[in-house]
């Protein structure tokens, strides 16, 4: 591997010449002394040679000999120096090769290993002495086949190099992937004299890449393949699918009211619930079905090799029943139901995107039809999905163009029939579609983030309204305003309320904020802090729709509340169903034991009102008394003199 520089070569020639000169000098001296001796002996001359006398010749030859000797000595020194330098350089190169991170093999033209470096020994576990003379192919893992190796060497012979990934076997028998580069070394005539192969063990890099790939294609919570994996799975299935021959079904499974669980019990419980349901659904999958998690509480099942639609229905039934089994999560027994939308290939779409979109529309239709059911896609469903999108863009305009209005529903004191408060209920006065109920647009506003602006507008308008009534000498009691969870969790929510009270000059005790159970049960400590700050300001606090969430009694005690609003669903059968009656009785008792005032919502008839009166549930709200009406109309309801005679 070492080379002697060109100038050193020239010096060597010079020294060789000097050596010849010396030999010539000695021979010449020898020849001269013989000649001079013989001639002086013969003719008695004084030993003169070509006009130069003998001592001068002697001196000249001596000088030549001396110079030549010096030159030879210097030449030898240089030669040995050069060799030493070459040895040093060679050792350095060897060390460099041995310190290289990559394993190296040097072979002769017949691919017999001549030398290997330390990294080779480390990577393969073979000592150099064990592999010298072997061919690298002998050390390789057989799974590539002989042809593969032959092709590689042929490629190197033809192109001078080859690079790629190879599986190899270490001395201990373990198999590992390596990134390898083979280069041919040529002589001056262009013939291959050696091959150099360098390689590195890439099992770690490969494992890492596989880990990244796994993470990119799997959901960490449930370990299910994710949306990305779903897309590639569908691409692979549909790539070679022939309409009329192949059929597949795609179902989107959305958990009903999952948000309530998440909000009430916290994300941790929500996550455990999702993981458990994923496990149960996963156990229902077989070779022709595959489960994915789209995100949140949405799952997808792809059913390929579908021979009859009935098979989908059978699977849906199985999934609904395993999801419906009670889940014991953090001391709560949760009952979950799904809404499922199904699209079929090729009827409802021939590409993955269309199948997903249409199954999604079918899922929304299942939800709209009362949840806990499934629907196959139908063309009319796309119209509903479009309507929803349209609604979202219209809602932005509604806010900007003041199309929202507040209606007010009075709350009555059952003991004296007086209006003691009103609840502000938002409506959308749509220029074409007329008055739209909050249930039709509040969920959309919550989804698209508009709820913050909408909520702010409601709070400000309601406070301004009470201020205006007070200024006009009208006392409608407290103004109850519904606060959405997203609004309540804004870090500056307390500040916003304080600002609005200051801006409108409304006494804080005239404002009541209605918050649902799920809003406060999520992040309990933060909720308690917010509630305490509001309470300290003098604002009244009520839990709305009480009984529909997952309140924990121990937490309820910690919330600085004023009222519980019993959800209207509990009141519905209270006059006919003894069980419903005892449920409401126990809610009233519970509220009382917590020192809270009770408000019954949705009182629709006299019997319900009477029942509540016997329970001494003093505050009521419902169509039996008043419907929500505009601000101008509501001031006419100062007092309900005899609630019993009001129209049912």
- Within 8 A by CB and 6+ apart from 526, the residues are 489
Rounded Cα–Cα distance for residues 43 and 52 (Å) = 17
Residue from 197, 419, 442, 543 touching ligand C2E (CB under 6 A): that is: 442
CB of 519 within 8 A of CB of 527?
Answer: yes
DSSP state of 548: S
Instruction: Choose from ligand C2E, Mg ion, none: what does 437 bind? Cβ within 5-8 Å by kind.
Output: ligand C2E
| Least CB distance to ligand C2E at residue 277 (A) | 27
Q: In the Cβ-directed half-sphere of 313, how many Cα atoms lie within 13 Å?
A: 5
Residue from 539, 622, 640, 643 touching ligand C2E (CB under 6 A): that is: 622
Per-residue x/- mask for Mg ion, residues 550 to 589, rule CB under 5 A?
Answer: ----------------------------------------
Cis peptide before 346 (omega within 30 of 0): yes
Instruction: Choose from ligand C2E, Mg ion, none: what does 412 bind? Cβ within 5-8 Å by kind.
Output: none
Rounded Cα–Cα distance for residues 188 and 473 (Å) = 111
Between the two ends of the chain, the Cα-to-Cα distance in Å is 107
Rounded Cα–Cα distance for residues 625 and 645 (Å) = 9
**SS3 assignment, position 311:** helix
Instruction: Choose from ligand C2E, Mg ion, none: what does 257 bind? Cβ within 5-8 Å by kind.
Output: none
Residue 264 makes contact with ligand C2E by CB under 6 A = no
Residue 568 makes contact with ligand C2E by CB under 6 A = yes
Nearest CA to 562 out of 535, 526, 537 is that of: 535
DSSP state of 49: B
> What is the size of the binding site for Mg ion (CB under 5 A)?
5
Per-residue x/- mask for ligand C2E, residues 628 to 647, rule CB under 6 A?
Answer: x-------------------
Rounded Cα–Cα distance for residues 160 and 269 (Å) = 62
Residue 425 makes contact with ligand C2E by CB under 6 A = yes
Per-residue x/- mask for ligand C2E, residues 497 to 536, rule CB under 6 A?
Answer: -----------------x----------------------
Token readout for 513 is 């904020």
CB of 548 within 8 A of CB of 602?
Answer: no
Starting at the edge strand found earlier in the chain, the sheet holding 289-295 runs: 289-295, 298-303, 248-255, 338-345, 374-376
CB of 106 within 8 A of CB of 185?
Answer: no
Residue from 36, 222, 482, 518 touching ligand C2E (CB under 6 A): that is: 482
Per-residue x/- mask for ligand C2E, residues 21 to 60, rule CB under 6 A?
Answer: ----------------------------------------
Whichever of 238 and 603 has its CB closer to ligand C2E, that residue is 603
The DSSP-derived string for 327-341 is: EEETTEEE---EEEE
Instruction: Choose from Mg ion, ligand C2E, none: what does 604 bind? Cβ within 5-8 Å by kind.
Output: ligand C2E
DSSP state of 594: T
Whichever of 102 and 514 has its CB closer to ligand C2E, that residue is 514
Q: Which stretch binds ligand C2E (CB under 6 A): 65-73, 120-128, 301-309, 431-439?
A: 431-439
Instruction: Choose from Mg ion, ligand C2E, none: what does 25 bind? Cβ within 5-8 Å by kind.
Output: none
What residues between 504 and 533 interact with Mg ion by CB under 5 A? 514
Residue from 441, 545, 566, 631 touching Mg ion (CB under 5 A): that is: 545
What residues between 365 and 424 interact with ligand C2E by CB under 6 A? 409
The DSSP-derived string for 338-374 is: EEEEEEEETTT-SSHHHHHHHHHHHHHHHHHTTSSSE
Residue 458 makes contact with ligand C2E by CB under 6 A = yes
Per-residue x/- mask for Mg ion, residues 452 to 491, rule CB under 5 A?
Answer: ------------------------------x---------
- Apex CA 626: angle with CA 624 and CA 630, to 5°? 160
CB of 33 within 8 A of CB of 22?
Answer: no
Residue 549 makes contact with ligand C2E by CB under 6 A = no
Unique residue bearing structure tokens 């059952």: 414
Q: Which stretch binds ligand C2E (CB under 6 A): 83-91, 346-354, 471-479, 601-609?
A: 601-609
Whichever of 250 and 459 has its CB closer to Mg ion, that residue is 459
Nearest CA to 331 out of 544, 555, 485, 587 is that of: 555
Helix (H) or strand (E) holding 495: helix 493-504
Q: Which stretch binds ligand C2E (CB under 6 A): 63-71, 118-126, 379-387, 437-445?
A: 437-445
CB of 618 within 8 A of CB of 591?
Answer: no
Instruction: Choose from ligand C2E, Mg ion, none: what does 442 bind? Cβ within 5-8 Å by kind.
Output: ligand C2E
The binding site for ligand C2E (CB under 6 A) comprises 409, 425-426, 437-439, 442, 455, 458, 482, 484, 514, 544-545, 568, 601-604, 621-623, 628
The binding site for Mg ion (CB under 5 A) comprises 482, 514, 544-545, 601
């Amino acid at each position: 591997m070492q080379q002697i520089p060109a100038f050193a070569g020239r010096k060597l020639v010079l020294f060789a010449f000097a050596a010849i000169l010396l030999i010539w000098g000695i021979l010449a001296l020898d020849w001269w002394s013989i000649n001079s001796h013989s001639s002086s002996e013969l003719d008695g001359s004084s030993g003169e040679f070509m006009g130069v006398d003998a001592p001068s010749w002697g001196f000249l030859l001596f000088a030549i000999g001396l110079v030549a000797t010096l030159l030879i000595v210097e030449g030898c020194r240089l030669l040995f120096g050069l060799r030493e330098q070459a040895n040093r350089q060679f050792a350095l190169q060897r060390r460099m090769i041995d310190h290289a991170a990559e394993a190296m093999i040097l072979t002769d033209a017949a691919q017999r290993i001549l030398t290997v470096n330390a990294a080779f020994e480390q990577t393969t576990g073979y000592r150099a002495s064990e592999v010298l003379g072997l061919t690298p192919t002998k050390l390789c893992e057989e799974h590539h086949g002989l042809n593969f190796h032959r092709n590689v060497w042929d490629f190197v012979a033809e192109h001078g190099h080859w690079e790629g990934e190879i599986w190899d076997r270490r001395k201990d028998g373990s198999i590992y992937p390596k990134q390898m580069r083979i280069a041919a070394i040529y002589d001056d005539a262009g013939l291959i004299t050696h091959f150099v192969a360098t390689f590195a063990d890439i099992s770690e890099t490969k494992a890492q890449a596989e880990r990244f790939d796994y993470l990119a294609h799997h959901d960490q919570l449930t370990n299910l393949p994710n949306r990305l994996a779903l897309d590639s799975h569908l691409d692979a299935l549909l790539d070679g699918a022939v309409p009329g021959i192949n059929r597949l079904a795609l179902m989107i499974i959305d958990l009903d009211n999952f948000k309530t669980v998440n909000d009430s019990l916290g994300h941790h419980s929500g996550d455990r619930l999702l993981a458990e349901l994923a496990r149960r659904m996963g156990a229902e999958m077989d070779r022709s079905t595959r489960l994915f998690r789209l995100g949140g509480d949405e799952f997808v099942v792809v059913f390929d090799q579908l021979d009859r639609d009935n098979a989908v229905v059978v699977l849906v039934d199985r999934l609904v029943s395993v999801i419906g089994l009670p889940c014991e999560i953090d001391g709560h027994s949760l009952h979950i139901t799904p809404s499922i939308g199904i699209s079929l290939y090729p009827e409802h779409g021939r590409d993955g995107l269309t199948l997903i979109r249409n199954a999604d529309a079918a899922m929304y239709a299942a939800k709209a039809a009362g949840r806990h059911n499934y629907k196959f896609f139908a063309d009319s469903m796309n119209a509903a999905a479009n309507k929803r999108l349209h609604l979202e863009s219209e809602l932005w305009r509604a806010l900007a163009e003041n199309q929202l209005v507040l209606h007010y529903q009075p709350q009555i004191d059952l003991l004296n029939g007086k209006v003691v408060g009103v609840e502000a209920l938002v409506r959308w006065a749509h220029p074409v579609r007329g008055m739209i109920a909050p249930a039709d647009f509040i969920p959309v506003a919550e989804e698209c983030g508009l709820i913050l602006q909408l909520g702010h507008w409601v709070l400000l308008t309601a406070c301004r309204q009470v201020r205006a009534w007070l200024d006009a000498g009208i006392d409608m009691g407290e103004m109850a305003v519904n606060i959405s969870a997203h609004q309540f969790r804004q870090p500056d929510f307390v500040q916003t309320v304080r600002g609005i009270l200051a801006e409108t000059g409304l006494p804080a005790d005239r404002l009541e904020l209605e918050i649902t159970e799920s809003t406060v049960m999520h992040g309990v400590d933060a909720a308690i802090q917010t509630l305490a700050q509001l309470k300290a300001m003098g604002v009244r606090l009520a839990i709305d729709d009480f009984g529909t969430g997952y309140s924990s009694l121990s937490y309820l005690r910690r919330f600085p509340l004023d009222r519980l609003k019993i959800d209207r669903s509990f009141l519905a059968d209270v006059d006919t169903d003894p069980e419903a009656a005892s449920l409401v009785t126990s809610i009233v008792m519970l509220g009382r034991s917590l020192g809270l005032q009770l408000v019954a919502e949705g009182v629709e008839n006299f019997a319900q009102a009477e029942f509540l009166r016997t329970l001494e549930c003093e505050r009521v709200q419902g169509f039996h008394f008043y419907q929500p009406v505009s601000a101008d109309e509501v001031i006419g309801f100062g007092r309900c003199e005899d609630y019993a005679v009001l129209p049912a």
